[in-house]
Amino acid sequence: MKREKNRRDPEILKVVAKTFRVMELLAEAPAGSGVTVLARNIEQPKATVFRILATLSQLGYAHKDNLSNSYFLTSKIRRLVHGEKRETLCKAARPFMERLLSQFEQTVNLAMLEHDQVLYVDMLEGLRSIRMSATINTCAPVHCTAIGKSIAAFLPAGALTQILRARPMSRLTPNTIQTLPALQKHLELVRSRGFAVDDEETEIGARCVAAPIYDQMGMAFAALSVSGPTSHVRGQQLRMIAKAVKQSTERISLKLGYRLKA
């Protein structure tokens, strides 16, 4: 006879079950959630939930935004399912990457947010590309790459601050944004456009256009970009690339289970 799995099962560690329930609820709350709401939802004392959140924060899996007193899951949690999610993302994005390469003949990049950096997971070399430092399985900063900025603009409140606290805004070129107020203002423009531009902020002579990719929970976790020499990625060509990249990432997001907001 199969043992009934309930709260009295001696093999179940109650605190582990409660911890995973808190993590599930945070995953379902892109705007974050407070101790009181979480405690009510899992029917536990606030002191218990607070200790769980404190432990998750200490381990780097949760982050508290002091302004809203809300907690969020961090990008570190993605490492638990990174391999499978990466494979699914690459498979969904590859047809669109090939189409963009054929259309613009510039390098097409696919990257995921990995803790406090972006990790390039796929790349198609363009016919007119310049030599760039980014390659598959290498990481790049969030604050100055088009891919990083396109993701950062749509992260939950407090997440960007956490990323920059772990990895300060280093200056790679004279065009690199180096202060948080300047970056926040720039990200407002990214949100209004729906895409980001790296205008020689990472490498002199290179310009890149990127748009975010969302998962089934509505979280921006990856991005697709087209990059090339500034002599080619400019003016009307840049606007055409931006439109095509946005259309591609919207369709990739839908393939991954994202549902457009009404």
Flag whether pLDDT at 3 surpasses 60: no
Mean pLDDT of 143-159: 91
Mean pLDDT of 79-106: 88
Phi (first) and psi of residue 123, to 5 degrees: -160, 135
Domains of the chain: 14-73 (1.10.10.10), 79-255 (3.30.450.40)
Tell me the C-alpha distance between 233 and 206, whole Å.
8
pLDDT at 261: 64
Mean pLDDT of 244-255: 97
Give long-range contacts, CB 8 A cutoff, 24+ apart: 229-235.
Answer: 229/128, 229/129, 229/130, 229/205, 230/199, 230/200, 230/205, 230/206, 232/106, 232/128, 233/106, 233/207, 233/208, 233/209, 234/207
Tell me the C-alpha distance between 14 and 3, whole Å.
17
Bridge partners (DSSP) of residue 211 are: 224
Which one of 43-47, 96-100, 134-138 scores highest in mean pLDDT?
96-100
Flag whether pLDDT at 5 surpasses 70: no
Flag whether pLDDT at 6 surpasses 60: no
pLDDT at 137: 84
Query: Strand 107-114 and strand 70-73: pairing?
Result: unpaired
pLDDT tens sequence across 206-229 = 999 999 999 988 889 999 999 999
pLDDT band at residue 240 under the 50/70/90 scheme: very high
Determine what percent of the chain is predicted with pLDDT higher than 90.
56
Bridge partners (DSSP) of residue 223 are: 111, 212
Is the distance from CB of 115 to CB of 61 less than 8 angstroms? no
Query: Looking only at Cα atoms, what is the longest distance across the chain?
Result: 72
